[in-house]
Chain A
Amino acid sequence: MVLSHRLGEWAGHAPVLEEEVALANIALDLLGQARTLLSLAGDEDELAYLREERAFRNVQLVEQPNGDFAHTMIRQLYFSAYQLPLYRELASGRGPFAPLAAKAVKEVEYHLDHARQWTLRLGDGTEESHERAQRACDALWRFTGELFRPVEGLEVDPAALEAEWLQSVEDVLRRATLRVPERPRAGGWAAGAGRQGLHTEPFGRMLAEMQHLHRSHPGATW
């Protein structure tokens, strides 16, 4: 839901019309996944609009501001490369998330392909695009360690996905002539307590915007 919101911020600002369509498409897929997931836990709007910042359990990676197009695409690469093996694993099980994951796998395959294609183009495009892509890779790297920490109630241990994630991301970065960041992903203090409700500063502002109207009309239906 949070990543979908961030992608929604691109509407009307994308570098080409085709990306207006693509970014909105990915945002919609992610919102659909979020709605299914939230509905498993309760009322989707109550959970989306009436929880405060400290009650949100999203990883910090997805709440990061869009930055430039490279920043958005690398964020998407890191996250989609994590979602794909996670959902494949969940889809093959019998847990409560299996039906959601089975549907989402197809969507995430597309998201990952899209992010990979852009990573290649930006990394191996012009000097400027290469520099921007490299900056994005480096800046977002410290938020990726959190993806592989255990999540309570999830039948899959995310740690088991790390090797596949790393291989998938390293492969595309190398082909894009980008340097794989070296800093340890789990290190650095910011790298990941989103699951405990500890977020980065931009997140509160994002929620203020997202929740404002809903909260201004308590009990109203829309």
Chain B
Amino acid sequence: MTTVAGGTGSAGRDTAGTAERAEEAADAFLTAFDAAVAADERIEPRDWMPDAYRATLVRQMAQHAHSEIIGMQPEANWITRAPSLRRKAILMAKVQDEAGHGLYLYSAAETLGTGRDELLDKLHAGRQKYSSIFNYPTLTWADVGAIGWLVDGAAITNQVPLCRCSYGPYARAMIRICKEESFHQRQGFELLMSLSKGTPEQHAMAQDAVDRWWWPSLMMFGPPDDESAHSAQSMAWKIKRFSNDELRQRFVDICVPQAAALGLTLPDPALRWNEEKGGHDYGAIDWAEFQAVLKGNGPCNEERIAQRRAAHEEGAWVRDAAAAYAAKHAADRDGKVAA
């Protein structure tokens, strides 16, 4: 969308007319914005956008970026114990990708006029959220595979539609991220496959991990549609393209045959094919648990934030050093440019 740029306009001299003209201009901006969204055009950083649209995007993108950063922890927990050098390399690469995804997303969020430092401060203060899933512990090596298969799988189901999100920088970040996430998901599946086809102990380890991660993964799609505070507006703005429950259903339908291929079961006795709706029925999600985790009372909420804060606080002197060095040597650089 380029039709309505900037929008400072020329200031009128008579104040009565100014207010009127400003109102007209705002209406024109809103009309153009709505038309651009309706026409599936991308909104770009310099375009006018409603304040609430901007705020919703900042909230969602920050939460997404934070999830990548906090999401490094449960997996990094196993880097030093990975059982083969190949698996260790894959896991390191994955955790590195997640840091990279966090960086893309913070950059995308910064196009909306916020700053990475500000967002991180809010994360550390508990004022912005991250995905509830990362408050569960990784207790065995198989959890690394379950995270790849289920958690990344759920993330991809959520994120692929975001590649068509109305806000251009977010959509473009998601295209890059989804490519890498799909790769991680396949690696997670393959890890579980190796365990499932391995020794009886390895198979049991894989099953136990799937049993523990299945329900939290379904919770990643957010509350049911009738309780989702932001859904309707986000869909109208084409930030979201599908409802929470639609995406959750899609994910269940994808996972059932994959679990069968893995030779593992999903921990839900109510799970069965429903011919009529052309999808699987599944059991009730424990929304009380979901709410508890969101409110900070999950198994690892405190540890995750504490580690994040500690890394930030203990790294302060390093960031200070880099800043002091840059300031000292700014003159050298200017000198070089001048010469």
Q: Does B79 belong to the interface (CB within 8 Å)?
A: yes
In the bound complex, CA of A68 to CA of B316 (Å): 12
Contacts of B72 in A (CB 8 A): 11-12, 20
Q: Does A128 belong to the interface (CB within 8 Å)?
A: yes
A11 and B76 contact, Cβ closer than 8 Å, known pairs A69-B315, A121-B322, A222-B87 = yes
Nearest chain B residue, comparing its CB with the CB of A6: B80
Q: Quick one: CB contact mask for B199-224 with A, threshold 8 Å, 1 for yes? A: 10110000000000000000000000
Contacts of A121 in B (CB 8 A): 321-322, 325
Q: Does B328 belong to the interface (CB within 8 Å)?
A: yes
**8 A Cβ contacts from B311-332 to A:** 311-312, 314-325, 328-329
Contacts of A25 in B (CB 8 A): 96
Nearest chain B residue, comparing its CB with the CB of A214: B83
Q: Does B194 belong to the interface (CB within 8 Å)?
A: yes
A12 engages B73 (CB within 8 Å): yes
**8 A Cβ contacts from A1-53 to B:** 1, 5, 8-9, 11-21, 24-25, 27-28, 31-32, 34-35, 38, 44-45, 48-49
A44 engages B85 (CB within 8 Å): yes
A213 and B198 contact, Cβ closer than 8 Å, known pairs A8-B80, A11-B72, A126-B324 = no
Nearest chain B residue, comparing its CB with the CB of A38: B85
Q: Does B88 belong to the interface (CB within 8 Å)?
A: yes
Please give the distance in Å from B223's CB to the nearest CB on chain A: 29
B141 engages A213 (CB within 8 Å): yes
Q: Quick one: CB contact mask for B65-87 with A, threshold 8 Å, 1 for yes? A: 00001001100100111111111
Q: Does A183 belong to the interface (CB within 8 Å)?
A: no
Contacts of A1 in B (CB 8 A): 85
Please give the distance in Å from A135's CB to the nearest CB on chain B: 13
Contacts of A132 in B (CB 8 A): 317
In the bound complex, CA of A9 to CA of B78 (Å): 10
Please give the distance in Å from A33's CB to the nearest CB on chain B: 11
Please give the distance in Å from B140's CB to the nearest CB on chain A: 9
B80 engages A9 (CB within 8 Å): yes
Please give the distance in Å from B44's CB to the nearest CB on chain A: 25
Q: Does B296 belong to the interface (CB within 8 Å)?
A: no
In the bound complex, CA of A100 to CA of B191 (Å): 28
Nearest chain B residue, comparing its CB with the CB of A28: B92
Q: Does A209 belong to the interface (CB within 8 Å)?
A: yes
**8 A Cβ contacts from A66-86 to B:** 68-69
In the bound complex, CA of A24 to CA of B100 (Å): 11
**8 A Cβ contacts from B105-130 to A:** 106
A17 engages B102 (CB within 8 Å): yes
Q: Does B146 belong to the interface (CB within 8 Å)?
A: no
Interface residue SS majority, chain A: helix
Contact among B76, B96, B316 for A21, CB-based, below 8 A: B96
Q: Does A212 belong to the interface (CB within 8 Å)?
A: yes
Q: Does B307 belong to the interface (CB within 8 Å)?
A: yes
Q: Does B99 belong to the interface (CB within 8 Å)?
A: yes
In the bound complex, CA of A24 to CA of B80 (Å): 12
Please give the distance in Å from A125's CB to the nearest CB on chain B: 3
Q: Does B147 belong to the interface (CB within 8 Å)?
A: no
A31 and B92 contact, Cβ closer than 8 Å, known pairs A121-B321, A129-B320, A222-B194 = yes
- The A/B interface has a contact count, at CB < 8 Å, of 142
A125 and B100 contact, Cβ closer than 8 Å, known pairs A17-B69, A24-B92, A35-B89 = no
A45 and B84 contact, Cβ closer than 8 Å, known pairs A12-B76, A21-B99, A124-B325 = yes
A14 and B311 contact, Cβ closer than 8 Å, known pairs A1-B85, A129-B317, A220-B198 = yes
Contacts of B323 in A (CB 8 A): 125
Please give the distance in Å from A63's CB to the nearest CB on chain B: 13
Contact among B141, B315, B328 for A15, CB-based, below 8 A: B315
Q: Does B93 belong to the interface (CB within 8 Å)?
A: yes
Nearest chain A residue, comparing its CB with the CB of B314: A15
Nearest chain B residue, comparing its CB with the CB of A27: B92
B311 engages A217 (CB within 8 Å): no
A125 and B95 contact, Cβ closer than 8 Å, known pairs A45-B84, A45-B85, A214-B83 = no
Contacts of A32 in B (CB 8 A): 89
Q: Does B252 belong to the interface (CB within 8 Å)?
A: no
**8 A Cβ contacts from A193-222 to B:** 209-210, 212-214, 217, 219-222
**8 A Cβ contacts from B168-220 to A:** 191, 194-195, 198-199, 201-202
Interface of B toward A, CB cutoff 8 Å: 69, 72-73, 76, 79-89, 92-93, 95-96, 99-100, 102-103, 106, 141, 191, 194-195, 198-199, 201-202, 307, 310-312, 314-325, 328-329
Known contacts A19-B315, A32-B89, A222-B83; can you find 20 more A-B pairs with CB under 8 A? A8-B88, A12-B311, A13-B307, A14-B311, A16-B319, A17-B103, A20-B95, A21-B103, A24-B93, A35-B86, A38-B85, A49-B84, A68-B314, A124-B328, A129-B320, A209-B80, A217-B202, A220-B198, A220-B201, A222-B84
Q: 5 tightest A-B contacts by CB?
A: A15-B315, A125-B321, A129-B321, A24-B96, A11-B76
A-B contact pairs, 12 of them (CB 8 A): A15-B312, A15-B314, A16-B319, A17-B102, A27-B92, A35-B86, A69-B315, A69-B318, A125-B323, A126-B321, A132-B317, A217-B83
